[in-house]
Amino acid sequence: MSTTSKDVTVDARPKRQQTAKNIAARKGDTPIVCLTAYITPMAARLDQHCDLLLVGDSVGMVLYGLDSTLGVDLEMMIRHGRAVCRGAKQALVVIDMPFGSYEESKEQAFRNAARVLSETGAGAVKLEGGVEMAETVRFLSRRGIPVLGHVGLMPQSVHAHGGYGARGRTVDEWQPIIDDAIAIAEAGAFAVVLEGVAEPLARKVTEVLSVPVIGIGASNACDGQILVTEDMLGLFAINPKFVKRFAEIGRDIEGAIAEYADEVRSRSFPAEEHTYKMRGANS
């Protein structure tokens, strides 16, 4: 699609400067900046500062009040993926494959991943799992679907692993996580998210993988970092150990709402400057 003004033709389609291939080439380079996004206005604000925007299944907890990510479905991810792609012009948009949309078979994973990319305009999908998902990652990658892996603490598997506690805090827990990361990278993932692991293990995984490792709760030893945007902006009272709050938006919102309520009740809002006048000689 293009728009023409006199002799100038302007391509109105979004320009995606970052691709999965670009991100893969960033191994050991300047750290990769990643945040989550679920809506168009936030995506537009994040876009100029981020290399990668993840439409995470955390949307279920952040926007819908779910207790976990397990209640998120494919329709929800596609809906929010479209919204984020409308706001992002340069960052690579990656969309989480929700629980139950890819585990059954590699063919199921391909059908659903292809639908996600074709219906949203995103550049890649993310799925959780290690050795057991390597065949699926390879199947998708060989068919033109870029995959961001996710190992370590995997929120979609919290029931199987006994909760959200950090992984790899004893040496005997290391090898399965290392094996998972290697398997996914060798299967063709362009990068791997490593969540909730002890710093020495994060350093080891980052050293052994040839693709970038993007950490969340995995120390600054990784090739990049990702956080849930609403966490780092201080929108919620609960603050995970690995999150630094760069703002206190939640507190500011509460203050603004309280001020609004006071002014409505005292009739000081809307004031004269917020009120329409009649037009004409008698106004």
Q: Which H, E and C letters describe 189-219, residue by residue?
A: CCEEEEECECHHHHHHHHHHCCCCEEEECCC
User: What does the alpha-carbon distance between residue 203 and residue 186 come to, in Å, rounded to a whole number?
Assistant: 18
Q: Let me know: does 222 contact 206? Beta carbons within 8 Å.
A: yes
Query: Annotated binding residue at 57?
Result: yes
One pLDDT digit (tens) per residue for the chain, 283 residues = 444 444 444 334 345 589 999 999 999 999 999 999 999 999 999 999 999 999 999 999 999 999 999 999 999 999 999 999 999 999 999 999 999 999 999 999 999 999 999 999 999 999 999 999 999 999 999 999 999 999 998 887 765 655 667 787 889 999 999 999 999 999 999 999 999 999 999 999 999 999 999 999 999 999 999 999 999 999 998 888 999 999 999 999 999 999 999 999 999 999 999 999 999 866 5
What type of residue is 281?
Answer: A
Domain boundaries, the chain: 15-244, 251-275
Supply the DSSP symbol for 242. T
Query: Annotated binding residue at 126?
Result: yes
Query: Annotated binding residue at 58?
Result: yes
Decide if 119 is catalytic.
no
103, 107, 135, 195: the catalytic one is: 195
CATH for 15-244, options being 3.40.50.300, 3.40.50.150, 3.20.20.60, 3.60.70.12: 3.20.20.60
